Structure 1
């Protein structure tokens, strides 16, 4: 069977390479920054003030802000042009050189003599950041911006990413220039400190963090459940931002995709210290824009974006996620098919730490939007989601001799790559009763086309005191229907 078209593709091991192969054209517009890390040991305090004396032995500089987003996009396989402004100084020359080395078209990076280049310099002593000092240029009109924008938009890109961090590149005239060219921007993704400023552009997607959501709404997202609060505010967020889809990024709480007429989709992040999160938002935006530019579903794009962010938070300093990095991250997430004994030990460890275990099962042969929404909803019932997959012989008995389309290992790789799934296990029987008896999960979740009385697993779950949860049902989302459509087209 041929590959699933990108407009229906789930997150899978081959997806990063397929997206790179499609080589979408993306224009990045916004604030280019030079990120520098000055590191060295510290053995004493200063006599002038109670501060450490750092003996700098290495300085490492990387593109930051819009420049980092552009560099990430290029590393992920996109054809990228950046429209920005830097100063006529060493920092500006360094930014342009680093971008050119990364494969970014810098012909739209304007050089201004009336301002410095935006820069952030961090002083790190023995792995601890002790100070940061920034160069913040004024926001003022940039000569030649309209021409640079028109040149970058020639031929019309698949997507345009706006990175507006109030660092000098985007004044009101620049906003008006983009609004006036809205029909030439392709998919418009806006990452901005002041999201409402871009409402006239009617973005396809905006990516505010918690603080930017608070600015947009005029109130913070209340703790402890910021995800639920973001979901409740979805209509207001879309109205105030002018965007059809809002992706709220919440650091260690992952992100939540709020699209019209679709269930909210949450991603789960790899927790990381704040010192390791520099640039993760740029990588998230780049992964999201790449996937959307290639036409993948929004939920798949959000999962890919989260995987890209997870790559860079595992590294020190400002980092870039490449296609091979992303493929390795997705592969590492999806490869682990646990044995029942291994899973029992893992679940016991989770339970000892007070985590609530959710269990669900199915064939998950050709993963579609209904599956993804269902698993996302199941994860929200607890802390750890275990997915049990019918083995190939079991699928054949349940679905017919021509199924499964995909063998167990491939199905496990796709399901395990989703950020909401923690563990995957296979079972050869027609029902997972034996696994339920051994694992005793707190919640057994099934799709909304069932009732508890219809499930042969319900007596087992009830006997040990567990809960059976029936999740929402998305009509017209069927693997069998998808297979029939593919065969009919073939």
Structure 2
């Protein structure tokens, strides 16, 4: 049964991981530079949005759920922008502060609604003291939540992710992991992994056909003690692998405009619905629908409760 607004509002999800500030410079392109064969963007506006784990939390808020974001904060101007956006969205923050850690910023330069360049400002990893504080905050926050979403963008907040998974599973909470890279061993014991096609290929190698894919994923799932694995496969849709076999859901997007943050949306919907008591097989069609909606929008985007359940 689809959860109602009251059930969703009562379902608090703990999102732990790497918060990112997504920054956009928007403008028009009228000519090519004489200095190099590149377009000249006349910048006319700027936007800042929540990215990474913060975008996953934003998706939960857009759906009407309560979200707590657990991350390692820096002490710079970008962090202040990030905190303002979280406050505006009604997202509670907990975690650790590492004043020497610059906030990860992804700057996208867009001309005529087309992304022309992305510049990543990525420096440093959290200190051991910050990770200690992060772990303590995680343990303290767990009991007040119905589900856990671990959003790994490789920036170090989830350096001790095996311990986080063990703590959450010991309390019986569903743990959804949006993984990074192809080393899935560190996510052993999670309820659900949501890798994209590229990440899954890095983890299990190239597959010959659907039967070979299923065999490889099921072997991985059993080895890591995962309840299920949801492969997001772009235009091919999504496939859930669990004890019952494989459940494939075709893609619903009519037009793909921007895939930025779509994985955050899928993971957020799965974590929310599992926290509300739905089975994974019942939740997958809604996650697929949400992913299909956000790829038709510009930048990191979210889906409303009305859109998802209409």
Length-normalised TM-score, structure 2: 0.90
Q: Supply the distance in 1 between the matched residues of 2:15 and 2:185 (Cα, whole angstroms).
A: 17
Q: CA deviation at 1:16?
A: 5.8
For 1:348-367, list aligned pairs within 5 A: none
Q: Supply the distance in 1 between the matched residues of 2:212 and 2:6 (Cα, whole angstroms).
A: 33
Match for residue 281 of structure 2 among 284, 299, 303: 299
Match for residue 153 of structure 1 among 119, 142, 147: 142
Partner of 2:153: 165
For 1:392-403, list aligned pairs within 5 A: none
Say yes or no: does 1:257 pair with 2:240: yes
Match for residue 20 of structure 2 among 7, 10, 33: 33
Cα–Cα, structure 1 residues 99 and 20, in superposed 2: closer, same or farther, change >3 Å?
farther
Q: Supply the distance in 1 between the matched residues of 2:232 and 2:153 (Cα, whole angstroms).
A: 16
Partner of 1:94: 81
Bigger radius of gyration: 1
Partner of 1:44: 31
Q: Supply the distance in 2 between the matched residues of 1:324 and 1:109 (Cα, whole angstroms).
A: 31
For 1:239-254, list aligned pairs within 5 A: 239-254=222-237
Cα–Cα, structure 1 residues 228 and 272, in superposed 2: closer, same or farther, change >3 Å?
farther
Cα–Cα, structure 1 residues 20 and 98, in superposed 2: closer, same or farther, change >3 Å?
farther
Instruction: Give the secondary structure class of the aligned counterpart of 1:171.
Output: coil
Higher relative contact order (CA 8 A, sep 6+): 2
Say yes or no: does 1:312 pair with 2:294: yes
Specify every segment of 5 or more residues in structure 1 that has no aligned partner in the other structure, as ranges.
Answer: 1-8, 10-14, 332-490
Instruction: Give the secondary structure class of the aligned counterpart of 1:57.
Output: strand
Structure with bigger strand share is: 2
Cα–Cα, structure 1 residues 269 and 19, in superposed 2: closer, same or farther, change >3 Å?
farther
Q: CA deviation at 1:178?
A: 4.3
Partner of 1:220: 206
CA offsets 1:384-415 (integer angstroms, 9 cap, x no match): xxxxxxxxxxxxxxxxxxxxxxxxxxxxxxxx
Cα–Cα, structure 1 residues 165 and 276, in superposed 2: closer, same or farther, change >3 Å?
same
Say yes or no: does 1:231 pair with 2:217: no
Cα–Cα, structure 1 residues 117 and 186, in superposed 2: closer, same or farther, change >3 Å?
same
Q: CA deviation at 1:289?
A: 0.9
The worse-fitting range, judged by mean Cα deviation, of 74-83 and 232-241 is: 232-241
For 1:47-446, list aligned pairs within 5 A: 47-106=34-93, 108-140=94-126, 141=128, 142-143=130-131, 144-155=133-144, 157-172=145-160, 175-180=162-167, 182-184=169-171, 186-194=173-181, 196-200=184-188, 202-217=189-204, 219-222=205-208, 225=209, 227-260=210-243, 262-271=244-253, 275-327=257-309, 331=310
Instruction: Give the secondary structure class of the aligned counterpart of 2:184.
Output: helix
Q: CA deviation at 1:56?
A: 0.9
Cα–Cα, structure 1 residues 210 and 103, in superposed 2: closer, same or farther, change >3 Å?
same
Length-normalised TM-score, structure 1: 0.59
Cα–Cα, structure 1 residues 27 and 134, in superposed 2: closer, same or farther, change >3 Å?
same
Q: Supply the distance in 2 between the matched residues of 1:64 and 1:128 (Cα, whole angstroms).
A: 19
CA offsets 1:13-72 (integer angstroms, 9 cap, x no match): xx3645754621211110111112211001122232111110111111111111111111
Q: Supply the distance in 2 between the matched residues of 1:24 and 1:87 (Cα, whole angstroms).
A: 29
Q: CA deviation at 1:271?
A: 4.0
Alpha-carbon contact 1:203-1:242 (below 8 Å) kept:
yes
Q: Supply the distance in 2 between the matched residues of 1:206 and 1:266 (Cα, whole angstroms).
A: 16
Specify every segment of 5 or more residues in structure 2 that has no aligned partner in the other structure, as ranges.
Answer: none
Q: CA deviation at 1:311?
A: 1.7
Q: Supply the distance in 2 between the matched residues of 1:88 and 1:39 (Cα, whole angstroms).
A: 27
Alpha-carbon contact 1:26-1:160 (below 8 Å) kept:
yes
